[in-house]
Amino acid sequence: MLAEPFNWHPGMWKMLTVAMCVALLGCLQAQELQGHVSIILLGATGDLAKKYLWQGLFQLYLDEAGRGHSFSFHGAALTAPKQGQELMAKALESLSCPKDMEPSHCAEHKDQFLQLSRYHQLKTAEDYQALNKDIEAQLQPAGLREAGRIFYFSVPPFAYADIARNINSSCRPGPGAWLRVVLEKPFGHDHLSAQQLATELRSFFQEEEMYRVDHYLGKQAVAQILPFRDQNRKALDGLWNRHHVERVEIIMKETVDAEGRTSFYEEYGVIRDVLQNHLTEILTLVAMELPHSVSSVEAVLRHKLRLFQALRGLQRASAVVGQYQAYSEQVRRELQKLDSFHSLTPTFAGVLVHVDNLRWEGVPFILMSGKALDERVGYARILFKNQACCVQSEKHWAAAQSQCLPRQLVFYIGHGDLGSPAVLVSRNLFRPSLPSSWKEVEGPPGLRLFGSPLSSYYAYSPVQERDAYSILLSHIYHGRKDSFITTENLLASWGFWTPLLESLAHTAPRLYPGGAENGHLLDFEFSSGQLFFSQQQPEQLVPGPGSASMPSDFQVLRAKYRESPLVSAWSEELISKLATDIEATAVQAVRHFGQFHLALSGGSSPVALFQQLATAHYGFPWAHTHLWLVDERCVPLSDPESNFQGLQAHLLQHVRVPYLNIHPMPVHLQQRLCAEEDHGAQLYAREISTLVANSSFDLVLLGMGTDGHTASLFPQSPTGLDGEQLVVLTTSPSQPHRRMSLSLPLINRAKKVAVLVMGRMKREITMLVSRVGHDPKKWPISGVLPHSGQLVWYMDYDAFLG
């Protein structure tokens, strides 16, 4: 049976026609109203602009021209107009089109791009005002509405503030148009300078207006890490953790050296140039918890910041550094240094990173980069544990499928033997899922990567390879912020790296010849949370006469100080020696008495010791150890100022001490802090008397303040220096003033007392105390002398020798 034809009413035709016209007009208006975009490239005649940025802007024009926006491109620099125009014209000569574009179309587009590009000298406030008038003059005759402006800062960071001030005062677009400011690294030299630069920029621009470029985030293999993890959640959920991952390697090797760039390199070095930014960003993408939506910029940032909070603090022993042999000579030549000058700037670094969370606990993350190495290559490699045991011989293993073969996942950033970006997944892991913009490839026969033939991987490469800057410029144009560094992200990264950089400031890097001649000289190993070179350095590579003696040239010094044994060394060796001595004392106490009672001081000096005990002393009898505090500030135990909080952050969360064996001082009772009527000191004294035989600790760790105080026993204050009280409330000259402390009589009951003194600022008090007698009211530290135990002083060379 046929359906009856629908009977259209004439009025309905009219309504439909009007609706279609309105919709079509709306579409046309929407396209028209997208308006004009002005792109201003500052530093338009520099190396980065010539190599990447002009080509990236041309690619942006090819992709977006005719899609609703009109464009103008403004090259700017300090150079005078005529010379600047010539330099810019020369840079634009090398523009190229995609391979699949007809030569005639390419020539046409290049001509259009050149006509839209002009040069400006931007040196004074008046120059910026003239630029603004020029942009507005382009809009008015054509009746164009301004959509927005992009300012790309391809200039040194010291110029940022002046440029930002001029843009903010003279070159902001009018109401309804957006402003996007693109900033190139380096973003500071350490945490403090990064913070200062961020504060300065925030006074001119809003956070959403700033796009900090790390061009590695535009590289196709790096940009694929989060989407790959998201698209393969089902396969990776059970594998992406400490139970299955053996280690993670994040590598960027270069064959070129720093010649021609030594002024930059002397200030920054390889860690600031590569590890703090490029490799750290890759680390976060690999190790962060996967948000529900990887396309949510806010969620990704939130998870990145959580990862930074979980990163274990870096120590000097977390890194090995090197420098190619010709570097110092290049610096002397380029920077006019004296012939005797030897640079300490590293051109090679390997760093061991640990993530202290449930997913990654114990998994080593190796970050490594260097110049003048044997190959140019970059990758992030996740090596999985091989827990299979194959009974049959290797000749019977299924090709590429056997569980006894290596299992790895590699985000191959580029160059090297493969030559292009790729994602490699061992065939004995799983078949991955990738977007249609990636294709499966076979590669040249016989090619081996990471110890396996390429045929043993599922290998994928982009259908169309694109330059990182072209991708990032497209994201900036479209207002996508997922490939850029926020202020929070930046400061978190500098907060992580700055302590290591400070500890390496005076370390002599290992010299290496460069290229294939390096051999195994830079190979390194990791053990007990530390990195070290596998080979001893040959004598001929050591700097000649005139080079400064370094910490590694000295051995631990044994002597006497105030009639008691003194151990002195450079800080790292000293901490290692003290940790070893504490472990030996603990093992002996547990062997004889079944338990070990250790009282620890707070402050900054013991932090390195806590970290050493946590990461390098697996034989420590933590299960039989009782931990006590020597002193405590009268703040809640969760307060960052709390000594217990420092102990928790740097030691307790990394070792397994029974809950009942941890004894924080009761400074916070009845919702009050150190109130006399709460009897907190008496409670702690009673707990000590109950659990510690004869109230005699096996070991007490003390420090010495610059005023001669120890524990929280201060000069000119008799509290706690004598009498029967075991624990006392005292007053500090610095905030927070109220403290709780073990008394001097209780400290002197200990079987062993170790006094740790570190840093140049302790040199003066060290000399002074060496000459004074027993005068605890003036110098409380002078009253430390165990009745029947041993006192040992541990001083680093800075404190002992100055």
Q: Find the helix packing angle between 54-64 and 103-116, rounded to 10°.
A: 110
Average pLDDT over residues 769-779: 93
Is pLDDT above 50 for 725?
yes
Residue-level pLDDT at 11: 53
> 36-98+105-184 belongs to which CATH class?
alpha beta
Structure tokens at 673: 């802090």
CA angle centred on 537, ends 533 and 542, rounded to 5°: 130
User: Strand pairing partners for 41?
Assistant: 75, 152
Q: Please report which confidence band the pLDDT of residue 556 belongs to, taking 50, 70 and 90 as the band edges.
A: low
Structure tokens at 251: 């590598």
Is pLDDT above 60 for 386?
yes
- Give the integer Cα–Cα distance in Å for 68 and 658: 67
Under 8 Å between Cβ of 402 and 389: no
Residue-level pLDDT at 309: 94
Average pLDDT over residues 190-219: 95
Structure tokens at 463: 């259908």
Query: pTM for the complete prediction?
Result: 0.70
Please report, for the chain, the start and end positions of each structural domain, with discontinuous segments joined by +: 36-98+105-184, 217-386+403-504, 560-801
Residue-level pLDDT at 545: 36
Choice between 29 and 638, residue whose per-residue pLDDT is larger: 638
Structure tokens at 577: 């020696």
User: Strand pairing partners for 765?
Assistant: none
Average pLDDT value for the chain: 90
- Tell me the per-residue pLDDT of 27-67, one tens digit each, with 9 for 90 and over: 433 344 468 999 999 999 999 999 999 999 999 999 998 88
Q: Tell me the Cα Rg of the chain.
A: 33
Contacts of 57 (CB under 8 A, 6+ apart): 39, 41, 73, 473
Under 8 Å between Cβ of 768 and 729: no
- Tell me the per-residue pLDDT of 324-350, one tens digit each, with 9 for 90 and over: 999 999 999 999 999 889 999 999 999
Under 8 Å between Cβ of 665 and 644: yes
- Tell me the per-residue pLDDT of 146-192, one tens digit each, with 9 for 90 and over: 999 999 999 998 899 999 999 999 999 999 999 999 999 889 999 99
Of 224-238, 441-455, 653-667, which gets the smallest average pLDDT?
441-455
Fold: same for 36-98+105-184 and 217-386+403-504: no
- Give the integer Cα–Cα distance in Å for 189 and 501: 10
Structure tokens at 696: 């005699």
Under 8 Å between Cβ of 99 and 465: no
- Tell me the per-residue pLDDT of 611-626, one tens digit each, with 9 for 90 and over: 999 888 888 999 999 9
Fold adopted by 217-386+403-504? Dihydrodipicolinate Reductase; domain 2 (3.30.360)
**Assigned CATH for 560-801:** 3.40.50.1360
Residue-level pLDDT at 10: 52
Q: Please report which confidence band the pLDDT of residue 1 belongs to, taking 50, 70 and 90 as the band edges.
A: very low
**Residue 278 annotated as catalytic:** yes
Catalytic residue among 120, 278, 342, 617: 278
Residue-level pLDDT at 618: 85
Residue-level pLDDT at 557: 67
CA-based nearest residue to 505, from 294, 651, 344:
344
Under 8 Å between Cβ of 634 and 735: no
Residue-level pLDDT at 29: 39
- Give the integer Cα–Cα distance in Å for 280 and 278: 6
Average pLDDT over residues 219-230: 97
CA-based nearest residue to 415, from 580, 581, 219, 546:
219
- The residue type at 602: G
Residue-level pLDDT at 9: 52
Residue-level pLDDT at 432: 96
3-class secondary structure, 669 = strand
